[in-house]
């Protein structure tokens, strides 16, 4: 077994995070259904702010919109941070913004890859080959799932789940490789999961104050968003499953996407499935 495929442990995670005092507790689970669920159980038992839950084998990982999240054992990072922020419930999306930004920055710091974000919660890679390829033009290498417990319009606690395809090869799920990638597939070599974990958590901790700091989070998040400045298709879900096609103009302080449709109307989207419109393909630029 290559050393990079060895299991993590609470001890090695704590050692990798020795320079991040933000993290109060580390809980390592060799196997878990979902780290978000495990973190929620810990929250119910009064686990402190900044408890980090990590597993090597997540068997029932969850994504946005009730989707499942694929993770072969010891190949990826699946982690959840339990936080108890002083934050109004209406600002809960900022946790997803913060975690996405931290994930992209941490990945870039360790690998040099220009990790980007796709609204609202995808961590993506858009390299030269992908820029030249057909839709989707970006490949997903990670995702964020934030779940909050609200008491009287405030966040009592939130679970910020981060999944990153570090050394995943998609050998047993080749259909996923059409839209997903991993750091290993991008670089042609395996990547040390602990280094990525430490860099991402370090960035999350360093930016935590931004949850209440005006425009800083939105500005940094926007700068990594490949969605902005492009024509996109937004599927709204719901009973009529409406489809909006328009220009992704901007994002608001709480992560809402401002979409200008061809009739000139401006739509403020809080949740949707967004894909690039075909017209973008020939003029993708690096952001």
Residue 280 binds ligand BTN (CB under 6 A): no
Give residues 33-52 in contact with ligand BTN (rule: CB under 6 A).
34-36
Instruction: Compose the 82-121 pattern: x for residues touching ligand BTN by CB under 6 A, - for all others.
Output: ---------------------------------------x
Chosen residue from 51, 80, 93, 186 binding ligand BTN by CB under 6 A: 80
Task: CB nearer to ligand BTN: give 197 or 217.
Answer: 197
Residue 54 binds ligand BTN (CB under 6 A): no
What is the closest distance, in whole angstroms, from the C-beta atom of residue 12 to ligand BTN in the complex?
A: 18
What is the closest distance, in whole angstroms, from the C-beta atom of residue 19 to ligand BTN in the complex?
A: 23
Residue 2 exposure: Cα atoms within 13 Å on the Cβ side? 10
What is the closest distance, in whole angstroms, from the C-beta atom of residue 279 to ligand BTN in the complex?
A: 25
Residue 78 binds ligand BTN (CB under 6 A): yes
What is the closest distance, in whole angstroms, from the C-beta atom of residue 124 to ligand BTN in the complex?
A: 10
Give residues 184-203 in contact with ligand BTN (rule: CB under 6 A).
none
Question: In the structure encoding, which two tokens stand for residue 126, read together?
Answer: 């858009």
Determine contact, residues 31/57, Cβ cutoff 8 Å: yes
Chosen residue from 161, 184, 204, 274 binding ligand BTN by CB under 6 A: 161
Contact residues for ligand BTN (CB under 6 A)?
Answer: 34-36, 61-64, 67, 69, 78-80, 121-122, 143-145, 161-163
């Amino acid at each position: 077994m290559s050393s990079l495929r060895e299991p993590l442990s609470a001890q090695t995670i704590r050692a990798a995070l020795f320079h991040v005092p933000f993290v109060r507790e580390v809980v390592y689970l060799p196997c878990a259904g979902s780290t978000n669920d495990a973190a929620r159980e810990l929250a119910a038992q009064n686990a402190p702010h900044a408890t980090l839950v990590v597993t090597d084998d997540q068997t029932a990982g969850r994504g946005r919109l009730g989707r499942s999240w694929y993770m072969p054992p010891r190949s990826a990072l699946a982690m959840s941070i339990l936080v108890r922020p002083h934050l109004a419930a209406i600002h809960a999306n900022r946790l997803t913004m913060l975690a996405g930004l931290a994930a992209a920055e941490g990945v870039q710091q360790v690998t040099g890859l220009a990790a980007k974000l796709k609204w609202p919660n995808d961590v993506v890679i858009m390299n030269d080959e992908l820029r030249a390829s057909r839709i989707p033009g970006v490949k997903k290498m990670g995702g964020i799932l934030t779940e909050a417990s609200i008491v009287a319009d405030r966040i009592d606690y939130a679970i910020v789940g981060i999944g990153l395809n570090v050394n995943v090869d998609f050998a047993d799920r080749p259909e996923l490789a059409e839209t997903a990638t991993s750091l290993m597939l991008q670089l042609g070599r395996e990547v040390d999961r602990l280094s990525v974990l430490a860099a991402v958590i370090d960035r999350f901790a360093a930016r935590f104050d931004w949850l209440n700091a005006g425009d800083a989070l939105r500005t940094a998040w926007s700068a990594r968003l490949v969605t902005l400045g492009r024509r996109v298709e937004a599927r709204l879900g719901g009973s009529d499953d409406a489809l909006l096609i328009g220009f992704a103009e901007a994002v608001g302080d709480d992560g809402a996407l401002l979409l200008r449709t061809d009739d000139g109307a401006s739509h403020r989207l809080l949740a949707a499935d967004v894909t690039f419109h075909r017209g973008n393909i020939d003029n993708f630029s690096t952001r």
